[in-house]
Amino acid sequence: MTRSSTTRRAGMGRRVAALVFSAVAAASAMLMVAPAASAAPSDYCGRGKACLWDDASYNTNGNYAALHWFEYFSNPMDGYVYAGTGIGVKDTADSWYNNGRTSTACFYDRANYQGASWCIAPLSPSGQGDGNIENNSGLVYGVTWDPASAKFI
């Protein structure tokens, strides 16, 4: 093997290594700036609260922070809107989450804690809920209504 062929191989090896390094760096950069596919509801629903969102997957019009929360009760829901929106909470919530410390959050289909209800026990330390009450495949199933009142019991 001549000196020039050895030099060419070493040069080609450095170029391949540089290309691999560049590709890995570019992929890593894309991963760091790519948004999460779905936010954890506990990121927006503070500890000790129960929360509702208008849409499935714990968001309202694509915004995870556009939620309605309560610490003790929410009755009636007529006068409330999701944070930062003009969307009324009553009869619209499709995602429910209990991030309470020890209490069970109950949701009712009528004001004053009347009518049909569904309760979600807390699950320490990260809470528990259903990101789509209408699909009958999560924690909440068989519910054909959206809440008009809610409270911790």
Question: In terms of domains, do 2 and 52 share one?
Answer: no
* Containing structural domain, residue 2: 1-34
Q: What is the mean pLDDT of residues 37-59?
A: 89
CA pair distance 104, 50, nearest whole angstrom = 9
CA-nearest of 53, 56, 45, 63 to 122 is: 45
Q: What is the pLDDT of residues 60-76, one digit of tens each?
A: 999 999 999 999 999 99
CATH of the domain at 105: 2.60.20.10
Q: What is the structure's pLDDT at 134?
A: 86
Question: In terms of domains, do 17 and 69 share one?
Answer: no
CA triplet 132, 74, 87: central angle to 5 degrees? 60
Question: In terms of domains, do 81 and 15 share one?
Answer: no
pTM: predicted TM-score of the whole model, two decimal places: 0.72
Question: In terms of domains, do 124 and 144 share one?
Answer: yes
Question: In terms of domains, do 148 and 86 share one?
Answer: yes
Min mean pLDDT across 33-37, 80-84, 91-95, 103-107 is at 33-37
Q: Kindly indicate the confidence band of residue 125, based on its pLDDT and cuts at 50, 70 and 90.
A: confident
- Report the domain count for the chain: 2
- For the chain, what is the mean pLDDT? 80
Question: In terms of domains, do 30 and 86 share one?
Answer: no
